[in-house]
Amino acid sequence: MTTISDIENMIVRVGLGDRAAFSSLYDATGAKLFGVCLRILNNRHDAEDALQDVYVKIWKNADRYAANGYSPITWLITIARNLAIDRLRARKAPTSQIEDQPHLATSDPTPEMAVVQKSERARMDGCLDELDPAHATAVRGAYLNGDTYQELADHAGVPINTMRTWLRRSLKKLKDCLTR
Amino acid sequence: MAATKPEETQGLPDQMTQAGDQPQDDSALVAEYALHLLDAPARLAFERRLADDAALRSMLVEWDERLVAFADEIDPVTPGAHVKPALLVHLFEPQKRRFGFGLRAALAGLAIVALLLIVVVPQVWNTGGASTYLAEIVAEDRGLIVQAGYDPDRAKLTLDRTAGAAKLGRSLELWVIIDGVAAPVSLGVMPDERIASIDVPARLIPSMILATLAISDEPLGGSPTGAPTGDVLATGVVSSIVN
């Protein structure tokens, strides 16, 4: 299994211009980052375009990785999610349905990549449970779907300013809960 | 490390707060930025602050690290097989990008029986620890497979013909197709031995990396004309660095 430390090594080597490390990094992380892009964009073609942008950005910024304070998986996923959402926002005609295409689940050569420790996942879930369900849904919607304030407000049937207040308070509560 | 003014991050302590927002102004803002909830102008303004404000950057890292737990539930999905090669071409062969069919144009004069471009997953190639580039030169039907290792320091191309052979009374000739050079350049007739190495001429040494190797079917002794005369049977790209 490719470990987090392996991935970090690859990133550092990519920062030094190592193309083989870049290729290995793609092999080790591409499916997960594609999953992130696909979740946000709901469109395979767009997600593949986004994935290319993601890895170009990784290639260009890996030399700054060591100084930035991120853990390796977070760094990669954050790049992917942000680029996917940029593309989502730029898209004129939003796709609301997942395209009816069979997608290939990860096949054997692609290693499992745990994003966070199970304990961290459990803590997040626990802290989300402490929120009002509608608020927790909104936080998840923002992260996983790239929903805007307007979209979140529409989904919840509340005015946009109400949603802003919900989110800000919920995020503060989450932070307090997670740093308990 | 840029210092932040305390009042920017905490708000004035004795000011009446609005719904508890004021004292945690920046923390909420950072979280909203991390979630991508800020509109474009707010996003830009925040990014400008980020550039000079290490404390803000560090808050952002904290929020990204907290929020990434959501990504745990996103399933990996294998992207299409074309994505990676296109990515590598985009990054490492920008000249080839515009002319997606440049390679085909180079080979257009030939009768192409089987054309397959592969970028191989790095394999361990025992050359005593030298830096090696690899190419897998493969025919589409896999009837001819040559594993090649290129050592630029020694200017040697090591060949292992793992499948296929020259036709009776004919020779297999090895060519390198270099970006920007229209005509394939001969590296000579493939040795008879299954495993052999050939010297790469000095002038070709730098051009080999990310070049395409091709094998054609020629009269015994190789092409009489200096250009491929027979079918191109197999190709592969010299890529992948293995130490």
Q: Which residues, given as ranges, of chain B have pLDDT below 70?
A: 1-24, 94-132, 240-243
pTM of the model: 0.59
Nearest to B222 by CA among B190, B199, B177: B190
Nearest-by-CA chain A residue for B78: A31
To the nearest whole Å, the CA of B197 is away from the closest chain A CA by 23
Contact B67 A143 (CB under 8 A): yes
**Helical axes B83-92 vs A19-41, angle rounded to 10°:** 120
A125, containing H or E segment = helix A118-129
Residue pair B213/B236 in contact by the 8 Å Cβ criterion: yes
A174 touches B: beta carbon within 8 Å: yes
pLDDT of residue A9: 94
CB nearest B79 (choices: A19, A48, A124): A48
Residue pair B187/B110 in contact by the 8 Å Cβ criterion: no
Nearest to B230 by CA among B172, B163, B168, B161: B172
CA dist B34 to A100, A171, B238, Å? 31, 11, 41
Q: Which residues, given as ranges, of chain A have pLDDT below 50?
A: 97-111
pLDDT of residue B7: 43
Q: Which of B17, B38, B72, B89 to probe by mutation at the A interface, max A CB count within 10 Å?
A: B72
Neighbours of B219 (CB within 10 A): 13
B22 touches A: beta carbon within 8 Å: no
> Which value, in Å, is the radius of gyration of the alpha carbons in chain B?
28
pLDDT of residue A92: 57
Amino acid at site A54: V
